[in-house]
Structure formats: C-alpha cells, structure tokens
Amino acid sequence: MTFTWPRRWQAAPLACALGFGAPAMAADSARLAELLAGLSSFQANFEQVVMNQFGEPLQTTTGTLHWQRPHRLRWETDEPYPQLVLADGESLWVFDPDLEQVSVQPLAESIDGTPAVFLAGTADDLAAHFDVRADEADEGELRFVLTPHDEASVFHHMTLAFSAQNALAGLDIVDHLDQRTSTTFHDARKNPSLPPRLFTFEVPEGADVIGDVPVAPAGSAASP
C-alpha cells in the first residue's frame, strides 16, 4: 500500500548508512512523538501528485482528509475519480462509487507497516515501525524523515512536514523504484471536534462487497 490510495487500495537501515546514530534518532523520534501527541484530530483538503523516478507527474488527486486518534481515518478523493477510504477503529473500508464496489478487512492487517500507522495510530506505533530523523526546513517548517524498520516495506522512506504552528503541512513518500507521492495539505484545522459519523461506514445498497462485513454488537447504533 502506498499513501496514494488510488482507485485500488494498495497497502531500512538508511539512517545508519547516512551516519545517524541511535541516540540522535531516539531524540528525533521523541520530538516527533511530542508533536503527534498534540494532534488528537486533524482535517484538511489535500492535493496529491504522483511522480515517476524522473520527477515527471503521472497523476494529480484532490480530496479531503479527516483523522482522529486512535485508528480513525477518512480519506476521500473527488478528482480525478471518487473514492472513500475509511478506518473506523476496527476495520478498513474502501468504496469505489463508480464501480459500486466495497472492500473490507481488519484494520490491523491493513495498515501494519504502512504510512497509515502514522496517520491513525499512536506514538508507540510510530516507534515500533520507523527510524526517525529530524531536518529543519525553511520558514520555520520542521521535517521528519521516517524509514521503515522492515526492509520489505512497500515504501523506502517518507517525510512529514510540519508548519511553524505545528500543524501537518505535507507528506512525501518515496518507494523502492524512486516513484514519489507528494501530498500537500491546505485549509488545515488542528484538533477540530469531529462527529463520529465521519468514521462510520454503511454498505450502500446494491454494492458488491469483497471481504467479511463485521457484525455490529446487539443494540449498537451509528452516532450522529
């Protein structure tokens, strides 16, 4: 999986090679964890550009992102085609309206070792999956380069950019073929109050379902 979450859901020892020792990485990881601890929820519009290894754009996608810790995420695209990716705390749902198709699988199996661990998980999830290196950028922006512990990860590294106000400003992912997915967030809101219904999914009537739809507990109902 890459962070692009295109029409079909897609779910390293680099730091040592660059000469960054364990104490420095531990301090950087703690610094990032502190920033994340200050982000209990987030919403923004986004523009995402996928580029090949030569930096040539292949696809541009726009949409909205909502997330709430722990493990709740709503990634909705409108252009060039609609798609909804939703994590409700237990399951991951992917809905393609034009195909009238829904796929569902347990959340833990879907995001383990992927960028979604950062987006919907906890600081402990971050330390368990990535080495972290901080990099000061221009105009007060702070960047963190995250390298997966698992060399079989679907991406090589990702960079998180935070604004001077400690809000998430961008996310850049590079895979093992040097394809880059660059996401810029705008109109962002830090720690908004998000209604639970944003993270509730109901299978549309007539849609084909791939996977086992979890059974809701008796007497449960969707929150407003």
| Residue 22, SS3 per DSSP | helix
Q: Which domains does the chain have, with CATH numbers?
A: 16-202 (2.50.20.10)
- Cβ–Cβ < 8 Å for 222, 202: yes
81 has a pLDDT exceeding 50: yes
Instruction: Look at residue 219 and tell me whether its pLDDT is greater than 90.
Output: no
Burial state string for 97-127 with b = 16 or more CB within 10 A and e = fewer than 16: eeeeebbbbebeebbbbbbbbbbbbbbebbb
Confidence of residue 119 (pLDDT cuts 50, 70, 90): low
Q: Is the pLDDT of residue 83 over 90?
A: yes
Residue 121 DSSP SS3: coil
pTM (two decimals): 0.78
Task: List all residues 6 or more positions away from 124 whose beta carbon is below 8 Å from its beta carbon.
Answer: none
Residue 54 has pLDDT above 50, yes or no: yes
Structure tokens at 110: 């879907």
Percent of the chain with pLDDT over 90: 46
Distance CA 121, CA 169 (A): 18
Q: What pLDDT sits at residue 20? A: 37
- Whether residue 213 has pLDDT greater than 60: yes
What is the per-residue pLDDT across 134-180, written as a single tens digit (0 to 9) for each?
Answer: 987 666 788 999 888 887 787 899 999 998 888 889 999 999 899 99
Please provide the average confidence, as pLDDT, over all residues in the chain: 80
Q: What is the DSSP letter of 218?
A: T
